[in-house]
Structures are given as C-alpha cells and as structure tokens.
Chain A
C-alpha cells in the first residue's frame, strides 16, 4: 500500500499534505509554538504580579509599543488593561490553540491510525482542512492583539455583560473561536470514524490500546460539547454586532447610564452554554493525557496495565458524566439550592472513575521491573501531579466550601495542576516516547532527565503557593496580585517566589529544545530500530524502519491479542506483539 517512491511536490508533501502523519506534525509544531506564546504572556503577567507597575526588563520596549498601539498608557510596565488582555488570551491560547490541538490534533492524528493499523485517517482531505481552519483561527486570535483596545479582555470564559460591552477584540475572539470549534468538530468526527471503521481484522474493541479509547471518548466530547459553545458564540456575536440582548438584562447600568438596549436577556444563559462545553473540555484536555500515560506505564513496567477493562469502562463513564456536572462552576450565581445539590452530587460521582484510573496506574507499578527512562519519569511525575489536581478539586465541587474558594487563586492552582503538570507532562512523555516513531532517532536521555527534574520542581514552585494564597482568600484576575487588599498581605511574598519559578520553568525548557534540535541534526542509523522500546502495539511491531511512507503499513496487519501482553509466561521475549499468533 505504501507509495513512498511516488514523488510529490514540496507543497503537496509538507504544506497541503493529506498524510495524517504530516498533518499531525503540522499540528504539533503549530501548537507547541502557541503553547510557548501563551506561556510568554504568563511570564510577563508574573512580572507584574511580583513587581507591580515596574517596567518589564528586556521586553519593556515591546510592551510599551503594544500598549501604545492598543491605546493604553505604559512606561514599559504592564498596564492593568493589558494585563486583562494577557490573562484572557493566556487561557484561550493555552487551551484552544495549544493543548487541544496537541493532544487531539497532533497525537490523535499521528498515533491513532498507526495503533489501529489504518493506512490513513478515514477522510484525509477533511483532515487537512481541519488543520488549516485551526490555523486561520489562530491567526485571527493573534491579529486581535493589534486592535485598538487590544485583544479580548473578559477572561477566557468571556462572561457577559462585560464581554458584551468589551472592545472589538472580543468580536475577533468570537470569530476566531468559531474557526477553532469548526476545526475541532471536523477533526474529532474524523477520529471517531477512523476508529470505528478502519480497525484492522482482529482488533476488537477490547483489544484497542487505551490511548485509542481515550481519543475515542475525547472526540465524542468534542463533537457533542463544542456546538453549544458555538451557539453561545453566535448569540454573543448577535449581541455585539446587531445589538440584540441575549445576555443583557433590562435596565443594565454601564458607566452611570442605563444601556440603550431592549433588555430581557440573561447573563446566566451564557454561563450555562459556556460551561456545558467547558466542563467536558476539561476532560478533553486530560483524557488523551491519560491514554499516553497508560501506554508508557505498561511499556516501562514490562507488565500488562492493571485493570484494562476498568480503565475502559471508567473512561467511557467519565465521558458520559462530564456532560452532567457543568453547573458546579456556577454555585455562586444564585441558581438555587436544588440545582447546587444536583450538580455537587454528580460532581462527586464523576470523581470515582478518575480515582479508578489513577489507582489502576499506581497498581500497575506494583511488581513491575520499571525502566526509568525519560517518558517513564514524566509518566511517574504525572501520577502525583494529577492526583493533587484532582483532590484539590473536591472542595470546589461541594457548594459550601466553594463559597470561600470561588474565584480565588485556589481555583487557579487546582486546574493548573490538572492541565499544566497533568496534561503537559503527558504531552512531554508522549513526545519522548513517540519521537523515535516519527524520526527514527531517540531523544537524548541525559538532557531529557534534566528537562524532567527541573520542570517537575518549578511546576510545583508555581502552583503549590497558589493553593496557599487561595485559601487565604486572594482573588484571581487582580492585576496587582492582591497588593491593594488587606487580607492578601500575609501571602503576598509568595508572588515573587512563584514568578521566579515560572521564569525558571522557561529556562528548564531549554534542554528540551536543544535535545530536539540536536537529535534532528544527528545522523540517522543506517537501519533505525523500528521498535526501540520493545513495545507490543501495532505502530511499533508491524512496520519497517521509520519514518513510514504515505500509506503506513506494507501489508495489512492482523491482530490476535490484547494491547499490553508484556512478560507473557512461556514467551522467549518479555513482550508479545499484538499481531503474534
């Protein structure tokens, strides 16, 4: 089936490619750049939080230039208006342009067809389209930084009425989101159809690698949860462009005057539609990460993953339940006791499958002969980090403690533990693990370990103090980090520590970047090992030397066994490929 000898033009091969592997790498590079950009915004914000109103070193000139362009006053410091812009765009970029495209667009695209033995995604042209629609969405978001009034500044949640009366940047945000949502929809439909239709003979549902299961559930979440946000986005666009009042109540006073609109709308409507997406979205961020971790743990403990079936049932149940918990973000809106009780109950229920998954991963370590290579270190680091993220979520899911904790730094600490050390560690683990698949060359272990240990330390240095500040009652989204609030004074000194951790985290990424560049430049072995990790799944065992040509497999593999048959008694090797009879 491989037609790698067929010559394709440069444009067809690298830019408008319909090969899922190239598209996966396109997604990966673009999303990593956006991830870095979103992180840079945060590093500037952390300067403002640690040293309020002082000029930003090195980048002060750039900040001043941007502030002048947006019409804000700045002497090289980060003015509070621009702080709001950076805050809103940090969230938007990290989630919609960074992490989702990485875990679904890059990993899903590259790995899923290979793990199920498919020649490509089910709809290759659609796949290309979804990347380019994502690209356009990203460009719209970036362009909005240069508008008068700056980019969107109402938080990544864009709550009305604030977002309704915000500057033009918000309109760009909405249009950009429509593109990003469309891209995700096309991409996830493609993944679902690929998994259902293109599995090779013998690859039954209970023989699928857990990574494929996690992508399958994630894609369903994207297909079903994103459209209500699209609906909400359309309504907000109507409000902003055609002066309707979907989210504006009657008699709203803005700047001392009653707003000249018909009224009759409801700001709560936005919150319901938004969180109906945004809660499943949390699982979109974390489930593929869990999938990556499962692959790596099974491979590096050299034994089957503990409780494969429980993992599968848990992930499906998680996906289903994630549609029934959204209003636990809204306990403080006054939506009523009955609603709060319902949603805190469902929230407690949804924590059960997450705990099952985490327990399965920990029990998998028991009695394994563990190889402590870089992917495994990231996977092992992931377990307690995700654990902290999950456990700190429980008090937020109960309406009573949420009264104290709502909108404080505790919330920020909680969800960053899930998505920053959680998802991003899984992404790093996945990059180290599948890099030999993409290039035929393994990344350097020493640099990888330096990258892991320093990232691990500094991640905690950023997010643990947030929990302390939050418990003290410091609100999120304050441009001075709480300096002007009496109750924040005692925890104010932590700001500097967190900021230094953030900048050092950036420094800790240098070994990673050097590692990638060095390995790419290194000469490839004459015949690279197609299965350097001694893994069992099809993408490693049934291929010739990487990189694979367009069309993937030379001949269609047939599967005879489950995904994690390591150390099977009686077998000469300590791994038994899925395709072995």
Chain B
C-alpha cells in the first residue's frame, strides 16, 4: 500500500505530505515558545527590578560578561543554518560529497553551541545563580534549557542522516532530499527561537 503524495507534490495544495506536517509541527512549536515568552513578559512586567535581586544579588553584571559568548553562539547558529541550506542545495545538485561536508559542518556548529552553553551554565551555577535564585534565572534556564533540548534533538536527527540514514540516497534520492529539506526547516526554526532568546535574555536587561 502506497500513501499518495508522500514524495510527489500534490498539485492543488502545492506541497508533499511531510512538508505540511513539519509546518504544522512548527506552528505548535511557535505556540509552545509563545506561551513561555508570554510568561516572560508577564513576570518581567510584574517585577519591581529586572533581573530581580535574590540571595546572591543581581545577575546583571554576570550577564554583561557573557554577552560576547552569547553573541558568538548566535553567529555559530546562523552559520549552521546557512550550511544546512547548502547541504540541501548540494543534494538538489546531486553532489553527495558536498552534502556530507555541509551537513557535517552543521553538526559541528551545533556541538560548539552546546559546549559554549555548557560553560555558561556551569559558570552561573558555580556563582550560585541556580534556577530557584530568582524568576529571571528560572526563565533563563527553562527557555535556554528547552531550546538546548531542541538542539540536541536536531543533532540526533542530523547525525542519523549523516550516518545510517544516508543509505536512502541510493534507493530513493528524491525522498531523501525531502527529508533534508524538512529537518532543515526544523533547524531554521530552532535557530529563529535563539534569535528571540538572545535579545530578551542577554541584551534587554
């Protein structure tokens, strides 16, 4: 049994099934992060000072120190988004070795992002700024943590396509290209979330 429009585009709707599926999934993700962003707005507007002052004082000075790291991370993620597109384009041009190169770069960028994040986390926790310290820290860890989980999830899928998943290129090249387009859409979304997180957590304090 074959499901129609699994690979081919349906003429009157202009998409194939999984492309519509990923857009709906991303719509739900927008609502998920939208809920968290509205929590940020509500808690921030209700706070007398921002970031709030807790047991170890305010995180403000530490944040100014970490802006360069976060900026570096922003650049890294944007770069990974660019290489993600390049990987997809390489497949469209039937160049598998270039695809490997670009997809590999994307994965490496994502890993660098996580390493930088790890040092940021441990530095903050070391200074006593744990999630329960104040509402800013709670939001910071929840938002970046959830974003980090999305990155990890993305890495797992990308690694699959870099490794065993690539076999599909030999049997169903068109379907494999579609898969890369879809994980690419997800990856751009994860990148976009960071573009919002970076100003609200680091710059606007």
Report the nearest B residue to A122, measured CB to CB. Answer: B17
A198 in contact with B5 (CB, 8 Å): yes
Interface residues of A in 233-275 (CB under 8 A from B): 234-235, 238, 242-246, 261-262, 264-266, 268-269, 272-273
Query: Given A231-B39, A265-B43, do A238 and B142 touch, yes or no (CB 8 Å)?
Result: yes
Is B29 at the interface (CB under 8 A from chain A)?
yes
Query: Residues 213-242 of chain A: 1 if any B CB is under 8 Å from the residue's CB, otherwise 0?
Result: 000000000011111111110110010001
Asked whether A189 lies within 8 Å of B24 as measured between CB atoms, the reply is yes
Among B28-87, those with CB < 8 Å from A are: 28-29, 31-36, 38-39, 42-43, 46-47, 52, 54-55
- Determine whether the beta carbon of A228 is less than 8 Å from that of B34: yes
- Give the residue of A198, A244, A246, A265 whose beta carbon is less than 8 angstroms from that of B4: A198
Q: Is the CB of B132 within 8 A of A123?
A: no
CB closest chain-B residue, reference A6: B1
Q: Is the CB of B39 within 8 A of A246?
A: yes
Decide if B20 is an interface residue (CB 8 Å cutoff).
yes
How many angstroms between the C-alpha atoms of A227 and B38 in the bound complex?
Answer: 13
Taking each of B39, B55, B131, which has the highest tally of chain A beta carbons within 10 Å of its own beta carbon? B39
Query: A265 CA to B31 CA in the complex, in Å?
Result: 21
B3 on interface, CB distance cutoff 8 Å: yes
- Show the binding face of A for B, using Cβ within 8 Å: 1-3, 118-120, 122-124, 185, 189-190, 192-193, 196-198, 223-232, 234-235, 238, 242-246, 261-262, 264-266, 268-269, 272-273, 276, 550-551
Q: Are A189 and B28 touching (Cβ within 8 A)?
A: yes
Query: What residues on B are CB-neighbors of A245 within 8 Å?
Result: 132, 134-135, 138
Is B93 on the interface with A (CB-CB < 8 A)?
A: no
Q: How far is the CB of B48 from chain A (nearest CB, A)?
A: 9
Cα separation A244 to B137 with both chains bound (whole Å): 9
Q: Mark B1-27, 1 if CB is under 8 A from A, else 0.
A: 111110000100101111011001101
A126 nearest CB neighbor, chain B only: B21
What are 16 A-B residue pairs whose CB atoms fall within 8 Å in the complex?
A189-B25, A192-B24, A197-B16, A197-B20, A223-B27, A227-B29, A227-B32, A228-B34, A231-B39, A234-B146, A238-B131, A242-B141, A244-B132, A246-B135, A264-B43, A276-B35
Please tell me which one of the listed residues A123, A265, A268, A273 contacts residue B21 in the complex, with CB atoms under 8 A apart.
Answer: A123
Judged by DSSP, the binding face of B is: helix
Interface size on B, residues (CB 8 A): 44
Q: In the bound complex, what is the Cα–Cα distance between A234 and B139 (angstroms)?
A: 11
Residue from B13, B29, B146 in contact with A197 in the complex, judged by beta carbons closer than 8 Å? B13
Whole-angstrom distance from the CB of B133 to the nearest CB of chain A?
A: 6
Contact call A198/B1, Cβ cutoff below 8 A: no
Provide the main secondary structure of the chain A interface: helix
Expressed in whole angstroms, the minimum distance between the Cβ of B193 and any Cβ of chain A is: 13
Closest to A2 in B: B1
Which residue from chain B places its CB closest to the CB of A239 in the assembled complex?
B138
Question: In the bound complex, what is the Cα–Cα distance between A451 and B31 (angstroms)?
Answer: 42
Complex Cα distance A124/B5, Å? 14
Q: Which B residues touch A197, using CB under 8 A?
A: 4-5, 10, 13, 15-17, 20
Central interface residue in A2, A226, A245, by most chain B CB within 10 Å? A245
Chain B residues, CB < 8 A from A231? 32-36, 39
Chain A residues closer than 8 Å to B133, beta-carbon distance: 262
**Complex Cα spacing A182 to B185, Å:** 20
In the complex where A193-B21, A242-B132 touch, is A224 in contact with B138 (Cβ < 8 A)? no
Contact of A185 with B135 in the complex, beta carbons under 8 Å? no
Of all chain B residues, which has the CB nearest A248? B135
Q: What B residues does A229 contact at CB under 8 A?
A: 35
- Closest A residue to B21 by beta carbon equals A193
